[in-house]
Amino acid sequence: MKNLKFIFLLLLFSCISLGTSDMTQNTEKAYFAGGCFWCMEPPFEVLDGVLEATSGYMGGEIENPTYEQVSMGNTGHAEVVEIEYDPNIITYGELLEVFWRNIDPTALNYQFADVGSQYRTEIFTVGPEQMEEALRSKDELEKSNKFDKPIVTAITEAPVFYIAEEYHQDFYKKQSARYKIYAEASGRKGFLEDTWGDE
Identify whether 15 is a catalytic site residue: no
Question: Which one from 30, 33, 35, 36 is the annotated catalytic residue?
Answer: 36
CA 91/CA 166 separation, integer angstroms: 28
Contacts of 155 (CB under 8 A, 6+ apart): 122, 123, 125, 131, 134, 135, 138
Quick one: CA torsion of 43, 46, 52, 55, rounded to 10 degrees? 30
Q: Are 146 and 42 in contact (CB under 8 A)?
A: no
Residues noted as catalytic: 36
